[in-house]
Chain A
Amino acid sequence: MLHLDHITCSRGQRQLFNSIDLKIDSGTLIHVQGTNGSGKTTLLRAIAGLLHPDTGSIFWDGKNIRGIYEDYCREMLYLGHLDGIKADLTGLENLRIAATLHGNKITENQEIEIFSLMGLGGLEELPCRVLSQGQKRRVALARLFAAKARLWIMDEPFVGLDAVIIPSLLQLIKSQVAKGGIVVLTTHQEVTLTAGTIQRLRLGEIPNFV
């Protein structure tokens, strides 16, 4: 269970959000909404532990994530704006490295299966440099399988993906929530669930141009 305990973040002089207090149970999807620059990415990075909130703390299963960061990382997967894949390595190598660093072993059959699920069949052995933007994104998304994480933090996961893969990704998110996982995501896309609960978190106000 994830607990955001009154967290406040600011960038420079500007306060992005103030005292967000949220208890998130397993089987929940948090859809973070807000205008550009309202602090969605900052909130997600704070939950991932990449930046310290100005005030407040984040608790995972009742323990402050600062104290149990390595264990927390084992249960958490963060997909940011950047794909986090090496252009000079092949998709397969990228996936293997992600899995090993996450402390998981995946077999060759699983690798092939993951790649065909992501619609990357036949592209496993190509260096990611030659893949298209959307295909690179798919390689990054393949990490979802490599790490057996309970908490998924996804920053705009649908950007750059085509109409074929978006429904499969939505399906993946749904099944993660149905399995009792937690998904925190930002997207301008409408997300619906068949099982579990969905909470919408609105950040920021519409900027005042006066």
Chain B
Amino acid sequence: MFEAFVCLVQRDLTIAARRQSDVLTALLFFIIVISLFPLGVGTERQVLTKLGPGVIWVAALLSSMLALEHLFVNDHADGTLEQILLTPQPLLILVLAKITAHWLLTGLPLVLIVPIVGLQYGLPAQALGIAVISIAIGSPVLSLVGAIGAALTLGLRGGGVLLSLLVLPLYIPILIYGAGAISAGFFGMDAASPYLTLLGAFLLLALVLAPLATAAALRISME
């Protein structure tokens, strides 16, 4: 079971390494959106520190959604998803492996790049640190929740639009608490920790429920 998990994660990482454009798109999108705001609204420090937390999280949300479409579509098109569903492994584990690989490719790069792009907003070091933590906790939730939508819209024409409509409402709490955590981060870790705890709760909840829902949705989309 564990072997299957590792095997599938490795498979997706290998494919991504050979097809880098898919991975870089999400990351570049994130960097570009965040970098455009200071150019558009001016470089006044007060405005930027106020906008920063929200912009960082909105960009993370959109870039995560951009990448979601690829989660199952390629596997669906070449028939490997069918084969994955027909293996004697618990589907939950396989779905979790797909989501893990997806997060490693699209979520983790955001976590690593946030402290650098966040500098453009003049965020203090403390707030930058909390931005990293909040993205680190929040982005897996985005991948997990998004996977449900990706599985549900599999095989539909114009699934991309439907996917955004389905998933965005579920993303809103993450946006609110994520951006809230960074804003509160200006006043220290103590002020931010309630937000981070809530994000952690979302992560646990998503970790338990999202693979179940995704697995069920995949079975339905195969019919």
A: residues with CB less than 8 A from B are: 48-52, 70-71, 73-74, 76-78, 80-89, 93, 97-98, 100-103, 127
Contact = CB atoms under 8 A, between A and B. Distances in A.
Which of B15, B80, B82 is the most central at the interface, judged by chain A CB atoms within 10 Å of its CB?
B80
B124 to A, nearest CB: 43
Interface string B6-19: 01100100110011
Given A70-B88, A73-B88, A101-B84, A88 B79 contact: no
Contacts of A87: 78
A80 B14 contact: no
Given A70-B90, A89-B15, A101-B87, A82 B223 contact: no
18 contacts: A50-B82, A50-B86, A50-B223, A51-B223, A52-B223, A73-B86, A73-B88, A76-B86, A80-B82, A81-B79, A82-B78, A85-B79, A88-B14, A88-B19, A93-B11, A97-B8, A101-B83, A101-B89
Range of interface residues on B (Cβ < 8 Å): 20 to 34
Interface of B: 3-4, 7-8, 11, 14-15, 18-19, 78-80, 82-90, 94, 222-223
Contacts of A103: 4, 87-89
A50 to B, nearest CB: 5
Contacts of A83: 78-79
Contacts of B90: 70
A86 B4 contact: no
- 10 closest A-B pairs by CB: A82-B79, A74-B88, A84-B79, A84-B83, A101-B87, A73-B88, A51-B223, A100-B7, A88-B18, A88-B15
B86 A86 contact: no
B81 to A, nearest CB: 8
B82 A102 contact: no
A98 B87 CA distance: 9
Contacts of B11: 86, 89, 93, 97
